[in-house]
Amino acid sequence: MPIRDVIFQAGNYYHIYNRGNNREAIFFERQNYLFFLRLIEKHLINKDVEIVAYCLMPNHYHLLVYLNTDNLSNLMQAFVLAYTKAINKRFNRVGSLFQGRFQATHIDSEEYLLHLSRYIHLNPVRANLVKSPQDWEFSSYCEYIFTNNNNQIKVDRILQHFVSSDSYRLFVETEISETGFL
């Protein structure tokens, strides 16, 4: 397997994403999304990976993470394997669920970090799954705008750049009206 272009280092932000093999679904029912989130807690959050934002879509996922470890590749491998095995068993399927290994981009500026959080939260709107990002159940957006953070999602890493959660909401939702999503 080729060497990854991105080197994972503690103290940095990364956009982690992947989609289903052949662009097929990776979530087949509501319980799959919830199980995926539980595995994130077990395999990533409990192993020094901070989840800053996320969005789970029917055929792909986005994670914005801050690393407190250099070991993300091994953690992700265990995480993806656990999810794939469970889905294969549940739906009596075999083979790969994901299209290759996960993709990663290093976040190298504050501007990019903020833009990426908005991009992630607007994914379900862009896909015409919902009219407003707060209507998508499998995203961290509501934790940002309602500040009902359960301490699992590190919203402060983004919200510290805004006066309030309302100003973050405006930052995200202005993009909807300016780009004509609605």
Among 67, 75, 76, CA closest to 102: 76
Query: What type of residue sits at position 177?
Result: S
**pLDDT of res. 150:** 65
**Per-domain residue ranges of the chain:** 13-179
Q: What is the mean pLDDT of each run of 10 residues along the chain (182 residues)?
A: 81 98 96 97 95 98 97 96 97 94 96 98 96 96 81 92 95 80 50
Q: Which residues does 33 contact at the CB level (< 8 Å), separation at least 6? A: 27, 56, 137, 138
DSSP H helices, 20-129, are: 30-43, 72-90, 110-126
**pLDDT of res. 175:** 85
Q: Domain 13-179 carries which CATH code?
A: 3.30.70.1290
- Cα 47 to Cα 42: distance, rounded to the nearest angstrom: 8
The pTM of the full predicted model, rounded to 2 decimals, is: 0.94
**pLDDT of res. 182:** 46
